[in-house]
Amino acid sequence: MIESAIKERLVAALGAEYVLDSNESKLVYSYDATPGMQAMPDVIVFPGSTEDVQRIVKICQETGTPIVARGSGTNLSGGTCPLEGGVVITFQRMNHILELDEENLTLTVQPGVITQDMIKYVEKNGLFYPPDPSSMKISTIGGNIAENSGGLRGLKYGVTRDYVLGLTAVLANGEVIRTGGKLAKDVAGYDMTRLLVGSEGTLAVITEAILKLIPMPETKKTLLAVYEDMDQAAQSVSAIIAHKIIPTTLEFLDQATIKVVEAFAHVGLPTEAGAVLLIEQDGAPEVVDRDIEKMAKLCQELGASSVEKANSEEEADALRSARRAALSACARLKPTTILEDATVPRSKVAEMVRAINEITEKYGLEVCTFGHAGDGNLHPTFLTDARNTEEMARVEQAFGEIFAKAIALGGTITGEHGVGAMKAPYLEWKVGKAGIGAMRAIKTALDPHNLLNPGKLFSESAEGVFS
Amino acid sequence: MIESAIKERLVAALGAEYVLDSNESKLVYSYDATPGMQAMPDVIVFPGSTEDVQRIVKICQETGTPIVARGSGTNLSGGTCPLEGGVVITFQRMNHILELDEENLTLTVQPGVITQDMIKYVEKNGLFYPPDPSSMKISTIGGNIAENSGGLRGLKYGVTRDYVLGLTAVLANGEVIRTGGKLAKDVAGYDMTRLLVGSEGTLAVITEAILKLIPMPETKKTLLAVYEDMDQAAQSVSAIIAHKIIPTTLEFLDQATIKVVEAFAHVGLPTEAGAVLLIEQDGAPEVVDRDIEKMAKLCQELGASSVEKANSEEEADALRSARRAALSACARLKPTTILEDATVPRSKVAEMVRAINEITEKYGLEVCTFGHAGDGNLHPTFLTDARNTEEMARVEQAFGEIFAKAIALGGTITGEHGVGAMKAPYLEWKVGKAGIGAMRAIKTALDPHNLLNPGKLFSESAEGVFS
C-alpha cells in the first residue's frame, strides 16, 4: 500500500479526475489476459502527455513506488499484472495518431492507439503496417511495442520491432529520451529503440513512437490446404520455403483446434482433418497468382487431401477471422485456457507438434495446437480449470517439458508473448546464466531501484509460477 | 605499454605464432580507413575459436588491458584504432562459413569471413544476403555487425541489423552469451542481439553469428537518370516513394562526384550533369519491368534530361561498381578524403545537399556529395590534406555545421559509419544528455572497467577530434 501523500502528489500533478483509487478501479487493473494472475495496484493514473508521465515517474522515483505501464492488458504472460502494487499508468488519454508522413512513410503515434484502428487508418491511405497480433482489435500499439508483438504476417514482414523507427520514453530517473527518428539508417550510439522494444515496461515508459510504413500490397490471395496427417502439413511448410517462396501467412491448425474453431466460427473447416494450413500471399497480382499456384501444387504433391482457394475477400476474411478466433473458441470449452508460444526453427515444427502431443498425453491433458508454422511459432493451448490445482500442476509440468524441448530443438520459450511473470522462471533456460547476468546488469543500470514493472522477466527461483 | 607478463600469458594461451608484437605488426594494426587517426597497440592476437577469445578477454580483464576487436579495418569513424593501446583481436583465423541451412534460410558464420565472399557463396545457392556496404570486397561480416553496416540496397532491404538472428559473444567478464537463434521470432528477454549489433566492439566481442537469408530476387534492372538541376533529382526520389515504389537502390551523385567518378571509372557518366540518380529494382520480372517503367516516367516528368536503362548486366555492374568506387575516386585527387554520413529523413535530401554546398563554400572547401538518397543517407566527402592543419580546422568546423543541420532536419550524425572516435564528440547532439546517460549506464553495466574498445562512442568533451 502506498501512502496517501503519494496519491495527493499524483492528484496535484494530473488533476483528481485522472487519478483513480476506488476498489472497483483497482480491481479492473489488477489483471490482464493471463489466467491465474492477479494483484491489486494502489492507484491508476491517466497521463495526457509525456510531461505528465515524467511527473508521475518522478513522484514514484522519489517515493520508491512501483510503476506498471499498461495498454489494453491483452498480454498472455502476466506482463501487466501489478505484482508489487504501486501505480498503473494507462494510456486511454494518449491515444492519438499524431502524424502520417507520406513522403517518409512514417506514422507518429501515442501509445494508447488501438492497433487495428491504426492499421485501418494507414490502409485508408494506401499504406501498410504489417504486424497484426491476434489481439489487434483490442491491443494498443504501446503494448505491442513493449511486448514486440508478432502476428500472422510475421513470416514475410517481420514483427513490431522491424517497424519501430524511433521512440520517446521516460526513464526511471524521470529523464526523457528520444531515440531514432524518421530515418532508414541511424547508428548514433547503442540501438536504444530496439532495446526498449520488447523490454516489457521494465526499462522505460514509452510515450510516443515513430513507425515505419510500407506501400500497401496490391492484392492478396488465400489458400486452405487440408491434410489427414499433420506431418504432411509440416512438410508442406518446409517445401514452400525450400522452393524460395515466402508467403505472407502460413498458419497451422491441428485436429483439435479445427474442431473447436469450426464449432465456434462455422466457416466450413473440415472437422475430420488431421491438420490444415491457412496460406496467404500478397503483392503484385502476377506474383501472387504464380506463388499461390506453386504453393497449391506443392501442398497437393505432399499429400493434401484438398487445396482450395478462397473465392472472395469475404471468404478469405472469414478464414482469417476464424484463425484469429482460435483462442476465444478454445476459451468456450473450459474455464481456463493457457496458451503458450514456444518457438522453434521452422524445420522443427513437425517434431515440436509431435512432442507437444506426447507430453500432453503423458500428463493426461487436453491441448489445441495452432500457430504461425512458417515462423516455427506454435501456440499449444491447454484447456483446463485454474480451480483444479492438481490439474494445474500437471499443466505446469507439461509446459516445462515443452519449453525444454523447444530449447533442445534450437528454439525459444517465447516467440511473441513475452516473458512477463509467467515465463520468468524459464528465461535462464534460453539465455543461460551469463545471458541473465547481462540482462540484469542492463536492468539495474537503467532502473537501479527496480521500480519499472518489478517481478517481470527476472525470477529469483527456477520454479514455475503456478506452484 | 602492457607488461611482458601479459604477453607471456597470451602466448601460453594461444601459442607464439598467434601473438604478434613486432613494430611492423603493431604499425599495421595502428590505424583503419579513417584519416588522421593512429595509435599503436601493444600486441595483436589471432584467436582460432570462441574459447580462445574467452582466454584473451580473461587475461585482459585480470590485467586491466584494453581490447580492440577488429575485422579488416575499413571503417571510417576510427572505430578500430587502438586509442589506448592494449590487445588487438583480429579474426583472420576465424573466417569460416560454418553452415548454410536451406530449410531455415540461415547462414552461420565466424566474424572473419569477407562480406563479398559470403554474399557470393550465398548467391551460388540461390539465396540472398542484402546488406552490401561499399567496402564489402574487403570488409568482414564481424566488422559489419559491429558497425551495423548499411549499403546500397538498404532502402528496400534494410541494414545488417535486419539480418542478424543470433550471436555468440564474449562479455567483458569473460563469459560467453548466445543470443537469438534460427528463429524468426524470439522475445525471451532483452534484445541482446540488436544491442550488440552496431555497438562498435564496446559491449562484447562477437565470435559467431547466425544470419538471415532471403530468396534471391529473380531479376534486377538498372536505370540512370541525369539531371541538370540537383533539386529535380531529389524531387524524383520523393516522387518515386510517394508513388509507393520502393526500389532496391536509389543512389545520388552530385556534379563534383560525377566528374571524379567518370575520370576514374570511364563508364560514360555525363560529366556536365548537375546530378544523377542510379536506380535499381529487383524482384519478379513483371514487377521489375513495371516499376522501372514507372520510375523512368516519373524521372522524365520531373525534368531529367535523360533516363537510360542499362542494356546488360555488365553495363549495370559497371555503373554500380563506379558508384561503389566513389570514395576511391575522390581519394586520387587529394592526399586526404574525409567522408561523412550525416543522414536525414528522405524528404529533406535536397535541403541537406544545398546546406552542404553552402557550408562548403563558406569554409572555402572542396566537397563531393554522393550517397543513398532513398535512405536520406548522404556522404559529403571533403577533399583535403591532413598535413594542412589550418584547412583541417575548417573541415572540422564544416562537419560540425553539417551535423547540426542534419539534426535540425530530424536526422542523425551517422547513418551507417558509426560513431567511433571521430563522431564521439557529436553523439550528444543527436541523443541528448539523457540518451548519453542511458548509453553510458549500459556500457558501465556490461564493461565496468572500460576495457572493450575504450575511447569510442563516448567523449569527455564536446570538442572535435581534429583539434
Query: DSSP string of B243-274?
Result: TT---SEEEEEEHHHHHHHHHHH-S---TT-S
- Give the pLDDT score at A318: 87
Q: How many domains does chain A have?
A: 4
| A444:B446 CB<8 A | no
Query: Using an 8 Å Cβ cutoff, are B210 and A209 in contact?
Result: no
Which member of B101, B127, B442 has the closest CB to residue A442?
B442
**Shared domain check, A186 and A107:** yes
Cell of B365: 572547401
| A435:B104 CB<8 A | no
The low-confidence residues of chain B, meaning pLDDT below 50, are 462-467
Q: What residues of chain B lie within 8 A of the CB of A419, using their CB? A: 187-189
Tens digit of each residue's pLDDT (9 = 90 or more) over A400-426 = 999 999 999 999 999 999 999 999 999
| A184:B347 CB<8 A | no
**Does residue B199 sit within a domain?**
yes
CATH code, domain carrying A55: 3.30.43.10
**Shared domain check, B255 and B225:** yes
Cell of B388: 594542412
- How many Cβ pairs closer than 8 A exist between chain A and B? 284
**Does residue A64 sit within a domain?**
yes
**Does residue A279 sit within a domain?**
yes
| Segment (H or E) for B208 | strand B204-212
Task: Choose the final residue of a domain: A167, A199, A215.
Answer: A215
- Give the pLDDT score at A323: 85
Mutate to test the interface with B, among A125, A186, A196, A282 (most CBs of B within 10 A): A186
**Alpha-carbon gap, residue B107 to B128, rounded angstroms:** 10
DSSP 8-state code for residue B47: -
B-chain residue closest to A182, CA distance: B345
Q: What residues of chain B lie within 8 A of the CB of A242, using their CB? A: 102-103
Q: What residues of chain A lie within 8 A of the CB of B182, using their CB? A: 345, 410
Q: What residues of chain B lie within 8 A of the CB of A154, using their CB? A: 184-185
Q: What residues of chain B lie within 8 A of the CB of A175, using their CB? A: 433-434, 437
**Shared domain check, A209 and A117:** yes
- Give the pLDDT score at A348: 93
Tens digit of each residue's pLDDT (9 = 90 or more) over A339-359 = 999 999 999 998 999 999 999
**Shared domain check, B308 and B236:** yes
Q: How many CB atoms lie within 10 A of CB B452?
A: 26
| A442:B439 CB<8 A | no
Mutate to test the interface with A, among B186, B206, B416, B449 (most CBs of A within 10 A): B186
Q: Which residues contact B154 (CB under 8 A, 6 or more apart)?
A: A184, A185, B131, B372, B374, B375, B377, B416
Cell of A420: 512477463
φ and ψ at A11, to 5 degrees?
-60, -40
**Shared domain check, B10 and B25:** yes
A-chain residue closest to B162, CA distance: A162
Distance from CA of B262 to the nearest CA of A (A): 28
**Alpha-carbon gap, residue B150 to B187, rounded angstroms:** 25
- Give the torsion sign (CA, B80, B86, B91, B94): negative
| B411:A377 CB<8 A | no
**Shared domain check, B111 and B84:** no
| A446:B431 CB<8 A | no
| B177:A432 CB<8 A | yes
Q: What residues of chain A lie within 8 A of the CB of B203, using their CB? A: 190
Task: Choose the final residue of a domain: A194, A215, A236.
Answer: A215
**Alpha-carbon gap, residue B82 to B87, rounded angstroms:** 8
| B185:A430 CB<8 A | no
**Does residue B122 sit within a domain?**
yes
| B188:A430 CB<8 A | yes
Query: Using an 8 Å Cβ cutoff, are A46 and A93 in contact?
Result: yes
CATH code, domain carrying A307: 3.30.70.3450
**Does residue B426 sit within a domain?**
no
- Give the pLDDT score at B272: 92
**Shared domain check, A211 and A224:** no
Question: Bridge-partner residues for A113, per DSSP?
Answer: none
Cell of A331: 476459451
**Shared domain check, B354 and B289:** no
Q: Which residues of B227-263 are buried (b: 16+ CB within 10 A; e: fewer)?
A: bbbbbbbbbbbbbbbeebbbbbbbbbbbbbbbbbbbe
Phi-psi domain of A418 (left: phi exceeds 0; alpha: psi -120 through 50; beta: other): left
- Give the pLDDT score at A462: 42
Tens digit of each residue's pLDDT (9 = 90 or more) over B427-451 = 999 999 999 999 999 999 999 999 9
What are the distances in angstroms from CA A216 to CA A136, A219, B56? 18, 9, 51
Q: What is the domain range of residue B255?
A: 219-328
**R_g over Cα of chain B:** 22
**Does residue A258 sit within a domain?**
yes
**Does residue A432 sit within a domain?**
no
Which member of B171, B184, B442 has the closest CB to residue A190?
B442
The low-confidence residues of chain A, meaning pLDDT below 70, are 1, 461-467
Helices (H) and strands (E) in chain A, counts: 15, 18
